[in-house]
Amino acid sequence: MGLTGLAIFKQLPKTNCKDCGQPTCLAFAMQLASGKAALDQCPHVSDAAKEALDSASAPPIALVKIGKGEKEVALGNETVLFRHEKRFEYPTGIAIAVKDTDGDIASKVAGINKLVFDRVGQIHSVNLVAVVNASGDGAKFAEAAKTVQANTEFPLVLVSEDPAAMGSALEAAGANNPLICGANAANLEAMVELAKKYDAPLVVKGNGLEELESLVEKAGYKKLFLDSGAREVNKVLADQTQIRRQALKKFRPFGYPTITFADNTDPIQAVVDASVYIAKYAGIVVVDSADPADLLPLITLRLNIYTDPQKPIAVESKLYEIGTPGPDSPVFVTTNFSLTYFNVQGDVESGRINGYILPVDTDGISVMTGWAAGKFTPEKITEMLNTSGVADKVSHRKVVIPGGVAVLSGKLHELSGWEVLVGPRESGGIPSFIKQRWGA
């Protein structure tokens, strides 16, 4: 992370003792610089040097964890401003707020637990429950935290600026590494104390970036989430951008994940604001709604934005039924690149065609790329026709292949014995293709 081998070498004992396994200190420094060795392999390095090197080699944004066990949420470790540069690493944690003044907390939490969506075989869900001390009453807050804790496996965000109330909530629900939310200029010391006591992550909220910076410096604690205090979407966007840019420039006070609050009173705008925060750098976004209609777009956007641009997403390679297909329904072959599959699926659906789609496993690459790379072949298509069970579902033996790979038809017919219909080059032509060619 920025340090050259020579800069590291200056901090080493320069004794060439070989205890690290390298022939010289310089060689070890070079290995460190390229990330192939770790500093603790040198038993003689001084504490001062260690601290200097550790902080210089630390990632620009610390990785901070909330919760324990299977549902633990880790955030931070981001290295870029734009997903096309590399990729975003730790998907924004979505927290649903529950107020300690809410009527039936247990049933609200039960609703949150159900915010789990299946997308072509992958499961996506919200990640955290934020318990908000809306009552201002410590005992009530503790009671609510306890109830939430007892009813969900999601980690908690405890939201109160009153250290006494936070203390009681932590007594009730502090064992599982909740996020303490949090510290501000008025309560910093007391909140840091609590965070240290429970070894839990802490939100530091500043009134603007300047104050945030000074509070982070004063806190002297490393498990932090940052809150610039902004709540209007235009301001949050600016602050989130500043925090990410400065963190990547190694401005240490901003080297932590952030938390944002989509608390717009207009429920549609709250969803839109949250979607902006997901796209633009929020570690956590807290939303008030637990309505699946609000969460489905947010969870989907998060999935899309955090997709690795170098690694296409694939759908499971298996037989898909569109509509209510019968023995006479057409069979479409395509690849398992999710975008390709979704296009074919969408166009078959929009043509109101009952049919079968067989996405051949091409490691998630598209039709033409798959063909060029030898991953979309007559052999693979034949295998899929034979093993997917489609042969038992249809009485005919006709398969539609994408127009772009018309060249495969001869060999495919030879290998599979199926009659091969060359479909349109673009899936958008499927409805009219079927109208003209199927059953004719």
Partner 1 sequence: MAVTIAKEKWTSKVGEMELGTGAKAIKVGGETSLPFLHFEGEIPNRPVLALEVWDMEPTEWPDILKKPFDGVLADPVAWAKKNVEYGADLIAIRFMSAHPDFKDASPEECAATAKAVADAVDVPLVLIGCGIDEKDAAVMEKVGEALNGKQCLIGCATEKNYKTITAAAMVNGHSVIASSPLDINLAKQLNILMTEMNLPTNRIAIDPLVGALGYGIEYAYSIMERARMGALMGDKMLAMPVICFVGQEAWKAKEAKSPDEETPEWGALDKRAILWEVVTTTSFALAGGSIFILRHPETIKHVNTHFAKVMESNAY
Residue type, 62: A
Contacting range for partner 1; rule: CB under 8 A; set: 125-133, 184-192, 205-213, 401-409: 205-213
> 227: which 2 tokens?
């809150």
State whether residue 367 is helix, strand or coil: helix
**Closest distance to partner 1 from the beta carbon of 56 (Å):** 16
Judged by beta carbon, residue 63 or residue 305, the one nearer partner 1 is 305
Residue for token pair 């032509």: 429
Let me know: does 78 contact 260? Beta carbons within 8 Å. no
| Angstrom distance (rounded) from CA 393 to CA 415 | 20
Among 279, 284, 315, 331, binds partner 1 (CB under 8 A): 279
Let me know: does 434 contact 351? Beta carbons within 8 Å. yes
Cβ-based burial of 192 (10 A; exposed 0-12, middle 13-18, buried ≥19): buried
**Closest distance to partner 1 from the beta carbon of 219 (Å):** 14
Judged by beta carbon, residue 176 or residue 300, the one nearer partner 1 is 300
**In the window 414-433, what residues touch partner 1 (CB under 8 A)?**
428, 431-432
| Angstrom distance (rounded) from CA 213 to CA 253 | 6
| Angstrom distance (rounded) from CA 270 to CA 263 | 6
Q: Does 123 bind partner 1 (CB under 8 A)?
A: no
Q: Which of 83, 112, 106, 61 is nearest to 301 (CA)?
A: 83
3-state secondary structure 104-129: CHHHHHHHHHCCEEEECCEEEECCEE
Let me know: does 71 contact 240? Beta carbons within 8 Å. no
Judged by beta carbon, residue 13 or residue 431, the one nearer partner 1 is 431
Judged by beta carbon, residue 174 or residue 325, the one nearer partner 1 is 325
Binding marks (x or -) toward partner 1, 280..319, rule CB under 8 A?
x----------xxxxxxxx-xx-xxx-x-x----------
**In the window 232-271, what residues touch partner 1 (CB under 8 A)?**
232-235, 237-238, 241-242, 245-246, 249, 251, 253, 266, 268-269, 271
Judged by beta carbon, residue 178 or residue 370, the one nearer partner 1 is 370
Q: Which residues contact 438 (CB under 8 A, 6 or more apart)?
A: 330
Compute how many residues bind partner 1; rule: CB under 8 A.
Answer: 59
**In the window 43-102, what residues touch partner 1 (CB under 8 A)?**
82-84
Judged by beta carbon, residue 99 or residue 280, the one nearer partner 1 is 280
Q: Which of 335, 318, 329, 345 is nearest to 439 (CA)?
A: 329
Q: Does 27 bind partner 1 (CB under 8 A)?
A: no
Let me know: does 355 contact 332? Beta carbons within 8 Å. yes
**Closest distance to partner 1 from the beta carbon of 9 (Å):** 28
Q: Does 221 bind partner 1 (CB under 8 A)?
A: no
Judged by beta carbon, residue 234 or residue 387, the one nearer partner 1 is 234
Residue for token pair 């034949």: 382
> 134: which 2 tokens?
């809306």
Judged by beta carbon, residue 198 or residue 337, the one nearer partner 1 is 337
Judged by beta carbon, residue 370 or residue 378, the one nearer partner 1 is 370
Among 94, 209, 287, 399, binds partner 1 (CB under 8 A): 209
**In the window 332-371, what residues touch partner 1 (CB under 8 A)?**
338-339, 342-343, 346, 349-350, 352
Residue type, 429: G
Judged by beta carbon, residue 132 or residue 348, the one nearer partner 1 is 348
**263 secondary structure, DSSP code:** -
Q: Which of 283, 147, 303 is nearest to 224 (CA)?
A: 283
Q: Does 111 bind partner 1 (CB under 8 A)?
A: no
Binding site for partner 1 (CB under 8 A): 82-84, 114, 117, 119, 209-210, 213, 217, 232-235, 237-238, 241-242, 245-246, 249, 251, 253, 266, 268-269, 271-272, 275-276, 279-280, 291-298, 300-301, 303-305, 307, 309, 338-339, 342-343, 346, 349-350, 352, 428, 431-432, 435
